[in-house]
Structure 1
Amino acid sequence: MDDLNLEIIVKSGILPVRVSLSSPYFELFKHFLENTGECFIILDSKGKVKYVNKACESFFSKPKSELVGKKVKLDLCQFEEKEKTLEEEIFGKKAKIIGRIARDEKGELLGVCLIVRSEEKPKVRELLADIMYHDLINPLTVIKGVASLGRENVEDDALKRNFSIIVKNTERLEGMIRNIATFIKLETLEPRFESVDLVEVIKNTLKSFSESIKDKNLDIVTYLPEKMEIKADPIIEQVFLNLISNAIKFSFNNSKIEIGIQDMADKVRVYVKDYGPGIPDEYKRKIFQRFERVEEKEEGKGLGLAIVQRIVEMHNGKVWVEDNKPTGSIFYVEIPK
C-alpha cells in the first residue's frame, strides 16, 4: 500500500480515528486493513481501483491482480453524503457499498474509500463464520497492534512483559477463531480455483506471525523460488497459516524453522520443518483428525491440522508428517498445479 492510498483512507474519514500520515499507528492500520474481514477498495479520482485487501479476493473470487487497475462504474459524487449506502453491482456481484470521498487541502478529489458487503442473506452457519471474522477478529487485530506498539515504546520491563502477554494471547485467540470459522465454512464451500502464488502466500503468512517469531527468537530460513503459481481456492492460505503457526508454537526458543517449495513437474511440494520436541509415531495419523492433540494440556481445540487435511484433499493433494532427526517434525503438503 503506497502513501497515496494511505492518504485517501485517512482523508476519507472512514477510519474511526484521525491520525497523521507520519503516525506510528499507520503500521497498525495497514495491518488491520489488509487482514480485516471487511472488503476495502480504494479508488483514485477517476474511479480506477488502486488497492484491494485480502477479503476482496474471497468476496469476488478473483485475485488482487485482476481487480487492481479496473475502473468501477459508479458515480463517485454520490458518496459526498457520508451515511449513504448504495446497492449496486460491482465486479459482477450485487453488493451494499459504503463510500467516503477524500479531498486534499485545496478541495480537489483524491479518491474514494469503499467498504463492500454482501447483499445476500447468509445461512445461519455462514452468518456465524462471518460474525467470527468481522466482529471478533477485527477488534483483536486492533488490540494486538496497540499492544505491539506499546511494547516497542515503553522502557519499563514489567510493562514490556505485560504487553507481550497481550500480543501472545490475542494471536492465540485469533488463530482459534479463524480455525472455527474456517471449519464452518468448509462444510458448504464450493471451491473456486484461480491462480495463487504460494510464495506470496507464505511470505504474507510469515509477516502475520512476526511478533511470535520475535518473542521466541526464531531463525526463519526459507528456500523459495521467485514465484510458484498453482490453481487453488484462496482458502489454501489457511493451510500454511496453520502449519507455520504450529511450527512456531512447538519450536524451542532460539531454534529455527525451515520452509521450502519444491517444483515436482505436475505438482508442488511445500515443507515446514521445525526443531521442536517432535511427534510420537502413534500420533502421526491421529493429529489430522478433529479434536485430536498430542497432549491434553495443549492449547486449542485440535482443529488446525484437520482443517489442513480437509483443504489439501479438496485440492486433490496430500499432507503428512515425518521426523526431523535428531529433533522436530517436517510437515509436507503436495498439491497439483
Structure 2
Amino acid sequence: MNSTEAILKERIKELTCLHEVNSIIVNSDYDQLHLSLEAIAYCLKKAWQFNTYAEVEIKSASYYVKTKGFNPSMVTIKSDIKVFNNADGHILVGYPTNKYAKSDFLEEEVALLNNVSLVVSNLMERKQIKDSEEKVKRQIERTDRLHILGEITAGIAHELNTPLANILGFTELLKERFSDREAARDLQKIVDNTIFSREIVKKLMFFACEMPQEMDVIQLNPIVDNVLELLRPSFKAKNLRLSKSFGVQKVHLKADTVQLTQVLFNLIMNAVYYSPIEGEINVHIEEEGKNVQIHISDEGPGIDSEIGEKIFEPFFTTKTIGEGSGLGLSVVHGIISSHKGSISHRQNHPKGTVFTVNFPKL
C-alpha cells in the first residue's frame, strides 16, 4: 500500500471507526453492554486494511463477544483491557493464517486497536462504578427500611406485652375456679395461644434489638458443634450429609451465648428445611481480616433475586402456611446487628444458597 490515495483511505477508515466506537459507547445501555461490545467488534472489523478477512474477539471477566468468523488459530494482534489498572481482558484482531502474517498489520492499526481498548476500558470502569453505586444505594435503602421496621416492631411489642400478660394471668385464675374438664381444656387452649403470641412478641423484640443481652467472651466452635448435635435428628430425617470445616481451632467472640445459638439454629434449620433429600449442608468457619466468618450453604432451590432484599423483613416467608412465621431471619438479622456483625447471602454453585455471617473477632 504505497499510493497516497490508499493511505488516505485507510486513515479515513480508522478515524471513522473511532468516531463510531465513541458513538456506540455514548449510547450504551449498561444493562445490555454485550450488545455494545458486539457493535464495537464489527466496527473494528470494518476498519482493517483487509476487512473482508479480518475478525475480532473482545473478552473480559464478564463479557465475551466475537465476529462470526473468528477462531483462535488466526494470526492476531492484541491489546489489553484494563479496569482501574488491573487486567480484565483483551481485544484481538486476526487474519487467517493461510493468507496473512503478522507483518500484514499496519502500525496505524496497532495504534487504533490500543485506542479502542482504552475507550472500552473506560466503559468497563464506568459500568463498575454504576454497579457499585446501585449496590450501595440498595444497602442504604434496606438498612433504612429495616431501621424503621425495627422502631415499629419495638413499639408493637411493648404495647402487646401488657394485654398478653393480663390474658395469661386471668386465664390461669379462671382455670383454678372451673372444675369442668371441657371448660378447663378450652382455657388451656387460651393459655397455649397466649404463650405462642408472647413468643412472637419476644421475636419481634429480638428483631428490634430490644432484648437484654449477656455478653461474654465465648468460644465459637463448641457452640456450632452443640447446635449441629441438636439438629442431628433433622439431618437424619432427610438423610443429609454434613460437611464441617473449622479453619481456626479456637475462635473467641464477645457474644450472648443464647442469642448466638439462636442465630446458628435458625440458619442451619433453614438449610435443612430447603435441602433436598440426600443433599449436603456445609458449615465453614474462617478468619477474614478483623472478622470471623461463618458460611452455611445448602443445595436447595436458592433465593430468587426478586426477593433477595426482603428475606430479613419481619413476617416475610417462602415456607408454606403453618410452617413458618417469617420471623426467623428477621430475628437473626436483629441479633447479628446488635453484635456489631453483618449477614449476607449469595448463590451456591451449582445450586442452593450460602449465608455468610460476619462477627468482629477479639
TM-score category (smaller protein) = 0.3 to 0.5
TM-score (norm 2): 0.43
**Higher helix residue share:** 2
TM-score (norm 1): 0.46
Larger RCO (CA within 8 A; separation ≥ 6): 1
Structure with bigger gyration radius: 2
